[in-house]
Amino acid sequence: MYNKSMVLYEVAIKNLALTLGDDSVQTFPKALANGRANYVVFEELVRRYTDLEASKGSDHQDSKDQKYEQKSYPDIEYHPKSQDLFRCSASSTFAANNNGPKIKEFLDTGDYKAALDLCKKTGYDKNDFYIFTNSGGFKPDSNFRYFIVPTQVVLENLDSKDPRMISRSKLLTLVESKVRIV
């Protein structure tokens, strides 16, 4: 699945539509902008263009059983003023979730290595690749973009203050080409 060069794939999206039993069509533009609503839609879309399959524990897997975790970021073109750092570790490492308080304690006491080790144990070590999508705060009638990054490259580019975070601008500098799918 992974090609050595990092490619940004782009799909033009107009809206999200639902065809009802009477063949009428209802559109849901706000659903695309909502992370809870668009999560499954964009996972399915990525699978259609990558031949990945749904997986247990991670979002996707390929025919070699390699695991892929999908994470969203706010697109720099559509959200230029949004914070550069975004979450890429397992959700269990944030806020009041299972390991969130432990990670916070490690970081508050300056123990980055312990925080990183816990992030690895709860997620990074379970995935071979990460798929980064611009679906954070997605804007209808815009371009959906995604790129695939080996986990080792993710680990090499984590924020130096918080191993749960990664820089959107730093990741985008790794992209070597763009492919327009639709």
Check if the beta carbon of residue 9 is closer than 8 Å to that of residue 182: no
Domain assignment of residue 108, yes or no: yes
Dihedral sign of CA atoms 132, 129, 93, 115 in order: negative
Beta strand 165-167 with 17-19 is: unpaired
Query: Is 138 part of any domain?
Result: yes
* Measured torsion, CA atoms of residues 41, 43, 3, 129, in degrees rounded to the nearest 10: 160
174 is a domain residue:
yes
Query: Which domain range does residue 135 map to?
Result: 7-180
45 located within any domain: yes
Alpha helices (runs of H) in 51-111, residue ranges in sequence order: 100-108
- For residue 100, what are the contacts with CB-CB under 8 A and spacing of at least 6? 92, 93, 94
The reported pLDDT for the residue numbered 96 is 83
How many domains are contained in the chain?
Answer: 1
Q: What is the pTM of this model?
A: 0.93
Q: By the 8 A CB rule, do 106 and 43 touch?
A: no
Nearest to 177 by CA among 8, 3, 4: 8
Those residues of the chain that have pLDDT short of 50 are 1-3
**Residue 1 falls within a domain, yes or no?**
no
In a domain, 24, yes or no: yes
pLDDT, one tens digit per residue, over 95-128 is 888 899 999 999 999 999 999 999 999 999 999 9
